[in-house]
Amino acid sequence: MRIILLRHGDAVGSTGKFHGWIDNPLTSKGAKEASDLSEEIRQYNPSMIISSPMSRTMDSARIISEKLGIPMQANKALMPLNLGDYDGQLVDKHLNQVRTHFSNPNKKFPNGETVNHWAQSRFIPFFNKHVFSKDPGTIAMMTHGRNIILAKADIAKGNNLDYDKTMLLDNKQSTEHGGYAVATPNSFEIKTPKSVSAGQS
């Protein structure tokens, strides 16, 4: 199966901060980014869109669902990593502490979760069930920047629960807000790259 991995549009109060589980809606800019994204991915003819249940992703998915005339549903597997006490905090101030948890993926974020729980108990099993299925179709998944990098790290290791942990630490590209990547069982390409500091959402 082909998966179109979508990143939500710009969200309220998120500039320079870890988004995480802070549940802010889209800005007007974010709504336009989602609308533009719907036209960009029309070429892939997705049959449905599955979204993280966060407001910024559901708002984005709803716009795309309406524009393309495809059904949508929510699934918690597509939620971002729960950074706990770092959610909503300034990236510049706390990036090194957050990176420590990526270097120690079984170390739990204070009042959050471990990197491995997010990756191996939530996102990867759900993503792999779809991307490695025999279905020749295409679906879209509306998710978060770090989840898209995780999908790339997962594809690099094949159909199991493992992932290339160096990509989460050292990968210098994610997607723009309102950007996307295309994944198949044997390939992964970020179509709207943006250079970001490692460890940012």
pLDDT at residue 144 in the model:
93
What does the pLDDT read at residue 199? 37
pLDDT value at residue 198: 38
Residue 75 lies in a domain: yes
Question: What's the pTM value of the predicted model, to 2 decimals?
Answer: 0.93
Domain that holds residue 123: 2-195
* Average predicted confidence (pLDDT) for the chain: 91
- Give the pLDDT confidence score for residue 27 in this predicted structure: 94
- Write the CATH number for 11: 3.40.50.1240
Q: Does a structural domain hold residue 76?
A: yes
pLDDT for position 97: 92
Stretches in the chain below the pLDDT threshold 50: 195-201
Contacts of 57 by beta carbon, 8 Å cutoff, 6+ apart: 8, 51, 78, 142, 143, 144
